[in-house]
Amino acid sequence: MSPQIEACSAVSAFRVPVNTQEARSKRQQKASPTKARDGIADTQPLGVGKDRTLQTQRLLSHPPQSLHLVAPVWNGGTRGIGGLSRVVAPEGNQKKGKSLLQFLADRFYDVEALRDHLLRKRVSKVHQKNRPFNHINRRYGPYVAGAYFILKQGGAVRFQGREWIRPNQRGHFSLDFLKLQAVPVEAVDASGCAINYQGLDSLLALKELQSLWLQRCPHVDDWCLSRLHPLASSLQELSLAGCPLVSERGLACLHHLWNLRRLDISDLPAVSSPGLTRILVEEMLPSCEVLGADWAQGLKLGPEEQPRDTAGPIPA
């Protein structure tokens, strides 16, 4: 039975329906820290409490177990939530290097600013990769601009009636396709590229696109899938295998693509029940061949289907 029915029958204090079990557990985890913090003192003047120099002096002079004496300042508060989430998902935050940076950033404004700067740089790098090439669009047309965009990201393009164009090991590609202004792009292989919601602008201009491969793209999520509907009349093949941010909620908006004949939704870690999702997507797109998880994946075996123990009694 799907997890949603069990989740619905468990009535929480103020919110009954739950999408997935993990959302419910996440919500419970989030609910408790606020209650715990209410007990501590949620009226702490946070500006006053963040007295860094005094804290560092105290930490240097006292042994580590006295840290809980000065816990209720804002660091303790957020570390409370972070601490709880570390219990829930330990694999992310227990790396030695990360915790050292965290430790220093909690105590020094400079390290905190440096960490924020590094994070912002990472985000802006993805933005920069997804910028639209308006000058190429004006000069050579949307097909060439879209092809240039994909090739610059490291993907491959195929124009109608031609061979695949790929960048080489160093990321360089020949600019011969600049003369193919009137030839539509038929297939795009953007596997592993850093394409995101903004970057899809360049792809959506390719009106005769027949085949789109978005395997293992780290920034393609449910919002991007909701943008694919302008390609409905031409798109016949779509592959989303291995995208970490795509869930069943984004797959629900693929029903606009009525011309789709092949869909690959295997290996999506964010989908809560892969087998059930595959069945529902097949019902939603009746004329499409869906490659996905096995239907029985995620189902518990019944008593008669339990694998037999090989070391059983010897038959008479």
Identity (one letter) of the amino acid at 141? G
User: Contact region for another protein (CB under 8 A) — 111-119, 138-146, 158-166, 297-305?
Assistant: 111-119
Which of 152, 207, 256, 261: binder of another protein (CB under 8 A)?
256
What count of Cα atoms within 13 Å lies in the side-chain half-sphere of residue 5?
Answer: 2
DSSP state of 245: B
Which of 16, 36, 113, 291: binder of another protein (CB under 8 A)?
16
Contact between 53 and another protein (CB under 8 A)?
no
Which of 154, 222, 244, 266: binder of another protein (CB under 8 A)?
222
Which of 146, 242, 250, 292: binder of another protein (CB under 8 A)?
250
Contact between 4 and another protein (CB under 8 A)?
yes
Whole-number Å distance between alpha carbons of 267 and 269: 6
* Residues 290 and 282 sit within 8 Å (Cβ to Cβ): yes
* Residues 155 and 191 sit within 8 Å (Cβ to Cβ): yes
Q: What are φ and ψ of residue 160, in 5° steps?
A: -65, 125
Which of 162, 216, 255, 261: binder of another protein (CB under 8 A)?
255
Which of 25, 32, 36, 51: binder of another protein (CB under 8 A)?
51
DSSP state of 315: P
CB-wise, 133 or 197, nearer to another protein? Answer: 197
The residues in 24-43 that bind another protein, with binding defined as CB under 8 A, are 27, 30, 34-35, 38, 41-43
* Residues 296 and 271 sit within 8 Å (Cβ to Cβ): no
Q: Which of 168, 220, 169, 161 is nearest to 187 (CA)?
A: 161
CB-wise, 14 or 311, nearer to another protein? Answer: 14
Q: Which of 69, 6, 77 is nearest to 46 (CA)?
A: 77
Q: At what angle do helices 74-88 and 21-41 cross, to 10 degrees?
A: 150
Site string for another protein, 130-149 (x = CB under 8 A): --------------------
CB-wise, 88 or 291, nearer to another protein? Answer: 88
Contact between 234 and another protein (CB under 8 A)?
no
The residues in 262-281 that bind another protein, with binding defined as CB under 8 A, are 272-273, 276-277, 280-281
Contact between 252 and another protein (CB under 8 A)?
yes
- Minimum CB–partner distance for residue 210 and another protein (Å): 21
User: Contact region for another protein (CB under 8 A) — 85-93, 168-176, 208-216, 306-314?
Assistant: 85-93
Q: Which of 129, 134, 85, 75 is nearest to 106 (CA)?
A: 75
Number of residues lying near another protein (CB under 8 A): 79
Give me the helices (H) in 141-259, please.
Answer: 142-153, 200-204, 222-226, 248-251
CB-wise, 47 or 161, nearer to another protein? Answer: 47
E-strand stretches of 53-196: 156-159, 164-165, 185-189
- Minimum CB–partner distance for residue 308 and another protein (Å): 32
